[in-house]
Amino acid sequence: MSEGLRERKKRETRQRISDIATGLFLERGFDNVTVAEVARVADVSVNTVFNYFKTKEDLLFDREGEMEDLPGKVVRERRPGESALAALRRDFLDAVDTRDYRYGFHEGSDRFARMIAASPSLNARLWTLNEAREEALARTLADEAGADAGDPTPALAAAQICAVLRRLSAYAVQRMIAGETVEAIAPHLRQHAELAFDQLESGIGAYCVRREAAPENA
């Protein structure tokens, strides 16, 4: 009752197009596959592809959009006595230790990473994803802290946190692209993460202080 033939077909077609597109993109590179080709392989018209997906990039990032609220969710579910930052640190380290997909550090992520790195438009897409994530986290922080409407604190905190998460992921991805195994990277990534969250926690005020000029004469 809940789903008629029409709706099922739509869901299936959309899925098929997205799957075929992802496969082709992974195999031959995003910029070396035309939408027309995706359509041909999926046995639909080009217009049908654009019926389901607004842009070529959406063929890939369709599902990834669900991870938009990941950090927000972690904060909302933090434990009693735990700060937002402590929760995010715990979650990130957990993801590293379990080789979980959610921060891009996963056994098979390197193919994906390579494909994205090779395409400027996919890179641009990643940034807007990060932007959305930052906004979502800012909203959550504002809620959870009971901040006033004009209070800039949550937005600023979210910006810092997301910047660091992005940087940590970028580090892992970079080494994966270079061909290193997840196992080889994990301990370093862990170390970087500890440092990063320490920085966020207690600040970088003392970093890189210029030496005073030596006094002219004793």
CB of 39 to a second copy, least distance (A): 24
Q: Binds 200, which of DNA, a second copy, none (CB < 5 to 8 A, cut-off by type)?
A: a second copy
Q: Binds 48, which of DNA, a second copy, none (CB < 5 to 8 A, cut-off by type)?
A: DNA
Q: Could you please report the per-residue DSSP string of 125-169?
A: HHHHHHHHHHHHHHHHHHHHHT--TT--HHHHHHHHHHHHHHHHH
Q: Cα separation of 60 and 63, whole Å? A: 7
CB of 90 to a second copy, least distance (A): 13
CB of 19 to DNA, least distance (A): 15
Residue 211 burial (CB < 10 Å; 0-12/13-18/19+)?
A: exposed
Q: Binds 16, which of DNA, a second copy, none (CB < 5 to 8 A, cut-off by type)?
A: none
* Interacting residue ranges for DNA, rule: CB under 7 A: 4-7, 9-10, 13, 33-36, 43-48, 50-52, 54-57
Q: Binds 7, which of a second copy, DNA, none (CB < 5 to 8 A, cut-off by type)?
A: DNA
Q: Cα separation of 176 and 171, whole Å? A: 9
Amino acid identity at 73: K
CB atoms within 10 A of CB 36: 11
Q: Cα separation of 94 and 67, whole Å? A: 17
CB of 138 to a second copy, least distance (A): 9
- By C-beta, is 38 or 87 nearer to DNA? 38
User: Residues 6 or more apart from 104 whose CB is under 8 A from it?
Assistant: 113, 169, 172, 173
* Nearest residue to 171 (alpha-carbon basis) of 211, 98, 89, 113: 113
- By C-beta, is 108 or 152 nearer to a second copy? 152
CB of 185 to a second copy, least distance (A): 12
Amino acid identity at 109: S
* Interacting residue ranges for a second copy, rule: CB under 8 A: 75, 78-86, 123-124, 127-128, 131, 141, 144-145, 152-153, 155-157, 159-164, 166-167, 171, 192, 195-196, 199-213
CB of 34 to a second copy, least distance (A): 20
Q: Binds 144, which of DNA, a second copy, none (CB < 5 to 8 A, cut-off by type)?
A: a second copy
- By C-beta, is 204 or 218 nearer to a second copy? 204
